[in-house]
Amino acid sequence: MQKQAQWLRWLQGAMLLTVGSCVDPYRPPEIASPNTFLVVEGNLNGGTGSSTIKLSRTQNLANANKPSPEQKATIRLEGTPYSFVETTTKGTYTLASATLPVGSKYQVRIKTGDGKEYLSDPITMKQTPKIDSLTAEVVGNGLQIYVNTHDASNKTRYYRWEYEDTYEFYTPFESPLEYVNKELIQRTGPPINHCWRTETSSTTLLGSSARLTQDILQKAPLLYLSATSPKLNVNYSILVSQYAQSAEGYAYWENLLKTTEQLGGLFDPLPSQVGGNLHCVTNPTEPVLGFLDGYTTEQLRVFIKRPPALSRNQIRTGYEGCFTDTIPKEKQPLDVFLRPGGGYNVIRPVEGSSTSYVATGVACTDCRDRGTIVKPSYWP
């Protein structure tokens, strides 16, 4: 998009040479008319364990609101007594207690509140092989994390991963004093300068052994941590979930991956439609977005230490902008700095003074804006 914007700007500039070009809103009826196609996201969980399906609606391009969840739908597995139940999170439906054995086939039938019915293609439950290992190695100025797996029965072939990574960090300053009722008192409770931050994968991670004679994936890349990343500072852990995809599901995700950020400009690649495996029964021409696959889930968690090859002095913690200041100042009483929204936390009193304090920005002493102070249960 950046590049396109340049081209267009240039074109406009070139035309201003003479008289000037014009940009008009483009709202053909196809775009302006309300588009509320059903979006289905989720999977059937093989074996025992709960399956989750989220339903939502597409929106017009110009719509700035959050996608609206699709409530009050019924989701059933065709030919079984199993049906999903809407949870307290709107538009999210779960199937808690069901056993969906590997190898069996299911069709998901969705009936929405407006009476329309949707049916998925038959979904074959696949057995996801175990993750053999998660490895890391220094590549360039950073650390590349890989996943290794194999399926001795050569049945899986198509893999998808999601990860959740957590890192531990500290703020550069501590604030032992708390400003309560216009008084500075000793801070109580757990320290607020020591946190854990958890992030989930935002890109679609795919791997395939289709080209190989054996169903073995070695060193499939998951993510790359730059040496400057604050993640590899104190301690770092990653939990990887592995899913065995069908060939169709794999193609779907691959396609989706490629067309995510493109927006039909002249110099952008031609986009195309990303289909799914669901169809509207009541109106066959109505598109349904999303792909439902069925598989068991395999997970593996590892902790990764910063390798010595990556020098520590290049870490950018995100706290580089923190500095200390002396408060209060002339015509600015202490309250201006320390009241809620004042933006400052006290580090210590200025030596030999009872009214002046060394202070810094709240974020430089309180890490709760970036993570949680609750130590995860799996943390050593």
Partner 1 sequence: MTKSFPVFLFIISLITGQLALGQQTRPIIVSGQFTNAPFAQLVQTIEARTPYRFYFNPADVDSLRVTTQATDVPLATLLNTAFSGTGLRYAIDSRNRVFITTDQAIRTELPIGFFERGGAPDTTTIDYGAARTTARLTLETKLFEIGSRNLAGRPGNATLAGRIKSTTTGEPAVGVTVLIEKPRIGAVTDQYGFYSIALPRGRHELKIRSLGLRDTKRQLMLYGDGKLDIEMDEEVVPLKEVIVGAQKDANVSSTQMGAERLDTKTIKQVPTVLGEADLIRVVMTLPGVKSVGEGTVGFNVRGGSAGQNLILFNDAVIYNPSHLFGFFSAFNPDIVKSVELYKSAIPSRYGGRLSSVLDVSTRDGNKKKLTGAGGIGLLTGRLTLEGPLITDKTSILVGVRSTYSDWLLKQLPGGYANSRASFYDVNLNLTHEANDRNSFYLSAYLSHDQFKLNSDSLYAYSNQVAALKWKHVYGNKLYGVFTGTYSRYQYAVSSNKRPAEAFRFGFDIQQSGLKADFNYFPNTRHTIDFGIGSTRYDLNPGSLRPSGTDSRIRTDVVPGEQGLESAVYIGDRFDVSPRLSVNVGLRYSLFMNLGPGQVYTYAPGIPRAESTIRDTLTYGSGSLVKADQGPEYRVALRYAITDAFSVKASYNRMRQYLHLISNSVAVSPLDIYKLSDTYLRPQVGDQYSLGLYQNLRANTIELSAEGYYRTLQNQLDYRSGATLLLNHHLETDVVRAEGVAYGVELMIRKMTGKLNGWLSYTYARSLLRTTGTDGSDVVNGGNWYPSSYDKPHDVTLVGNYKINRRLSISFNVTYSTGRPITLPLAKYALAGAERVYYSERNQYRIPDYFRTDVSLNIEGNHKVRKLAHSSWTLGIYNLTGRRNAYSVYFNSVGQGIKGYQLSIFGQPIPTLTYNFKF
Looking at residues 30 to 89 of the shown chain, list those that interact with partner 1 (rule: CB under 8 A).
Answer: 30-31, 35, 37, 39, 41, 56-67
The residue within the footprint of partner 1, chosen from 102, 216, 251, 322 (CB under 8 A), is 251
Q: Is 341 helix (H, G, I), strand (E, B) or coil?
A: coil
Q: How far is CA 138 from the centre of its chain?
A: 25
Closest distance to partner 1 from the beta carbon of 178 (Å): 37
Segment contacting partner 1 (CB under 8 A): 43-51, 187-195, 201-209, 355-363? 201-209
Residue 177 has which token pair?
């004093």
Under the binding rule (CB under 8 A), the answer on residue 27 touching partner 1 is yes
Segment contacting partner 1 (CB under 8 A): 16-24, 95-103, 314-322, 363-371? 16-24
Under the binding rule (CB under 8 A), the answer on residue 218 touching partner 1 is no
Strand order through the sheet with 344-349 = 325-327, 357-361, 344-349
Under the binding rule (CB under 8 A), the answer on residue 214 touching partner 1 is no
Segment contacting partner 1 (CB under 8 A): 17-25, 127-135, 168-176, 325-333? 17-25
Segment contacting partner 1 (CB under 8 A): 78-86, 254-262, 304-312, 350-358? 254-262
Separation between Cα atoms, residue 92 and residue 67, nearest integer Å: 13
Segment contacting partner 1 (CB under 8 A): 70-78, 114-122, 257-265, 314-322? 257-265
Closest distance to partner 1 from the beta carbon of 89 (Å): 14
The residue within the footprint of partner 1, chosen from 46, 129, 290, 294 (CB under 8 A), is 290
Backbone angle region of 61, left / alpha / beta, with phi > 0 → left and psi within -120 to 50 → alpha: alpha
At CA 97, angle to CA 57 and CA 106, rounded to 5? 60
Segment contacting partner 1 (CB under 8 A): 3-11, 186-194, 294-302, 311-319? 3-11
The residue within the footprint of partner 1, chosen from 28, 189, 284, 380 (CB under 8 A), is 28
| Site map 87..126 versus partner 1, x via CB under 8 A | ----------------------------------------
**Of 16 and 374, CB closest to partner 1:** 16
What number of residues does the chain have?
380
CB 152 within 8 A of CB 130: no
Which one, of 335, 374, 380, lies nearest residue 357 by Cα? 335
Closest distance to partner 1 from the beta carbon of 30 (Å): 6
Separation between Cα atoms, residue 24 and residue 272, nearest integer Å: 25
Under the binding rule (CB under 8 A), the answer on residue 309 touching partner 1 is no
**Of 9 and 72, CB closest to partner 1:** 9
CB 137 within 8 A of CB 146: yes
Residues 258-287 that bind partner 1 (CB under 8 A): 258-260, 262-274, 287
The residue within the footprint of partner 1, chosen from 102, 234, 257, 336 (CB under 8 A), is 257
CB 128 within 8 A of CB 243: yes
Closest distance to partner 1 from the beta carbon of 283 (Å): 16
Q: How many CB atoms lie within 10 A of CB 262?
A: 14
Q: How many CB atoms lie within 10 A of CB 252?
A: 20
Closest distance to partner 1 from the beta carbon of 212 (Å): 8
Closest distance to partner 1 from the beta carbon of 272 (Å): 4
CB 210 within 8 A of CB 155: no
Amino acid at 249: G
CA distances from 285 to 75, 141, 373 (A): 21, 51, 51
Residue 41 has which token pair?
């996201």
Query: For the residues of 212-249, what is the DSSP string, one character each?
Result: SSS-EEEEEEEEEEETT-TTSSSEEEEEEEEEEEPHHH
Under the binding rule (CB under 8 A), the answer on residue 21 touching partner 1 is yes
The radius of gyration of the chain's CA atoms, rounded to the nearest angstrom, is 27
